[in-house]
Amino acid sequence: MPAGSTALAAYATFAAAQGDDICSLRCTVEDESGESASDLCDALLGSGAQSASVEEFRPQGLAEQPLYSGSERRVWERCTVTTHFPPGTDVAAALKRAAAWTGRTQPLRYQIAEVVAEEWVQTIRDSYRPSKVADRLWIIPDWCEPPDAGAVNVRLEPGLAFGTGEHPTTRLCLRWLHARRSDLAGRRVMDYGTGSGVLAVAALLLGAESAAATDVDPLAVRAAGANAALNGVADRLVAVPCEADPHSPEPLRTAGALATAGSASFDVCVANILQGPLLALAPRLAGYSVPGGLLALSGILAAQAPAVQAAYAPYFSGFELTC
Amino acid sequence: MSKKEKVVTNVIKLLIKAGQAKPAPPVGPALGQAGLNIMSFCKDFNAKTANLKDNVPVPVTITAYSDKSFTYETKTPPATYFIKKAMGMEEGGGSQRPGHTEAGIISAKHLYEIALIKHQDTVRTELE
């Protein structure tokens, strides 16, 4: 199977369409005046469009009309309005409604194109490049060659599961793991809310003996397993689904994976999620940690940090905040 | 000499439920077409709307620049969302014959509360 095809397939499934299936109808209205473009967008959004985008309309040969971020002018004089509708929408009827709402007497002139999942999925793919996270620690998209072959290179099939190494929260956690790699050696790691599995895999490559990973998204669980295999650490990672409800039974036990995982005690726990789940998960993550264990939490805004720290203070001490 | 300003390439409007941005339609195709980092936006948006109730629709306006960076603003949910909620109506509900048949009744008090919330949007206009 060609590299990256699993990621594309995963994206397509997530988009409720196979690669060739139509996932959206793109409708383009050209040469709309800047004054009315915004109202037209609102009218189209109210008519069933899922998104509405305004860009410059520049037929061949005409000069650019650059729009600067700080300028008072908020829109180009001549615009192209691009909207996306769910597949199967009667776009003609939606446009008629929108035209009526904006008080037009002339019908809108437009073009419709079918969008297949592959188009924008490919755009996402093209935007991934090898990324250096810390000294001799890189994240490498599966179809690229590592620039530094001797570094710790975490190979990823960036797919729908979050965790390509690009987001600041992922990088913060990766740097934390990297800084503590001497503490990781021979230890057991729990990656709660694993997404693509990048943190668990990185921990294993940095010297951890074994890791467990869990996520509410079953596709993430699959992605974590796939990425572990890509890095040759599949035999040291146990990936199981979990439920969003923090009072639900412990996921390793539920999945019957306690024997494979070894136990539900971990020397290092990392959870890169969001404030809501993190607040609710304090008892569970505390339960996973051995006395003296390390914990890293991320996915929160700086303003949310005090509340999260307060939730974990009954169980942990020695908090450090890194932004 | 002023700092070189960024050139705007797209202004994209979307409605996304709080905490539920995903790289699927509508976000995927709309941001993908502008060449933006979809995953980055999704996680950022979900973190920012973490305090809102799930399923609340959030209007988002994304400004995309020629260097593929972007900024975005969120507004309070659409007035229609509040009106339907106040009337105990389902999403997608409403009169079968708009302009002719009533679907329900809303109190003036509810309308006042909704106006107060929506007023937050106008106050938050950009400062030049």
**pTM for the predicted model, two decimal places:** 0.60
**C-alpha angle A76-A77-A83 in degrees, rounded to nearest 5:** 60
Contact state of A121 with B28 under an 8 Å Cβ cutoff: yes
Give the pLDDT confidence of B83-125 residue by residue, as tens digits.
877 777 765 556 666 666 777 778 888 888 888 888 877 655 5
Residue A313: predicted pLDDT: 96
Helix, strand or coil for residue A161? coil
Of the pLDDT bands very low, low, confident and very high (cuts 50, 70, 90), residue A162 is low
Residue A315: predicted pLDDT: 96
Give chain B positions within 8 Å (CB) of A115: 29
Give the pLDDT confidence of A198-237 residue by residue, as tens digits.
999 999 999 999 999 999 988 789 889 999 999 999 999 9
**C-alpha angle A53-A116-A164 in degrees, rounded to nearest 5:** 80
A81 and chain B in contact, CB less than 8 A: no
Give chain A positions within 8 Å (CB) of B83: none
Hunting for tokens 């959870």 — which residue is that?
A271
Of the pLDDT bands very low, low, confident and very high (cuts 50, 70, 90), residue A10 is very low
CB-closest option in B24, B46, B68 to A274: B46
| A6 has pLDDT over 50 | no
**C-alpha angle B7-B13-B14 in degrees, rounded to nearest 5:** 140
Give chain A positions within 8 Å (CB) of B69: none
Residue A14: predicted pLDDT: 44
Residue A202: predicted pLDDT: 97
Residue B96: predicted pLDDT: 60
Q: Do A138 and A174 meet the contact criterion of CB atoms below 8 Å apart?
A: no
Q: How far apart are the first and last CA of chain A?
A: 40
What's the gap in Å between the CA of B97 and the closest CA on chain A? Answer: 14
Residue A149: predicted pLDDT: 93
Contact state of B23 with A11 under an 8 Å Cβ cutoff: yes
The DSSP 8-state label assigned to residue A17 in this structure reads S
Q: Residue B13 and residue A119: Cα distance in Å, rounded? A: 20
Give the pLDDT confidence of B19-30 residue by residue, as tens digits.
888 777 788 888
CB-closest option in B30, B35, B128 to A51: B30
A101 φ, ψ (degrees, to nearest 5): -65, -30
CB-closest option in B5, B32, B47 to A123: B32
Q: In sequence order, what DSSP letters do the residues of A245-295 get, joined into one string?
A: -TTSPPHHHHTT-HHHH--S-EEEEEEES-HHHHHHHHHHHHHHEEEEEEE
Q: A66-95 b/e with 16+ CB inside 10 Å = b?
A: ebeeeeeeebbebbbbbbbbeeebebeebb
> Average per-residue pLDDT in chain A?
86
Give the pLDDT confidence of A229-263 residue by residue, as tens digits.
999 999 999 999 999 888 899 999 999 988 888 88
Contact state of B8 with A69 under an 8 Å Cβ cutoff: yes
In chain B, % of residues over pLDDT 70: 81
CB-closest option in A68, A120, A162 to B28: A120
Residue A28: predicted pLDDT: 92
What's the gap in Å between the CA of B5 and the closest CA on chain A? Answer: 6
Contact state of A69 with B63 under an 8 Å Cβ cutoff: yes
Structure-block tokens of residue A244: 């969003």
What's the gap in Å between the CA of B109 and the closest CA on chain A? Answer: 25
Query: Among A26, A28, A45, A34, which Cα is nearest to A94's?
Result: A45
Which residue, among B2, B8, B125, would best test binding to A if mutated, counting the most A CBs under 10 Å from its CB?
B8
Contact state of A23 with B26 under an 8 Å Cβ cutoff: no
Residue A4: predicted pLDDT: 40
Hunting for tokens 């305090």 — which residue is that?
B51
Of the pLDDT bands very low, low, confident and very high (cuts 50, 70, 90), residue A7 is very low
Residue B81: predicted pLDDT: 76
| A98 has pLDDT over 60 | yes
Give chain B positions within 8 Å (CB) of A124: 23, 28, 32, 38-39
What's the gap in Å between the CA of A31 and the closest CA on chain B? Answer: 15
Hunting for tokens 């009954």 — which residue is that?
A314
In chain A, % of residues over pLDDT 90: 52
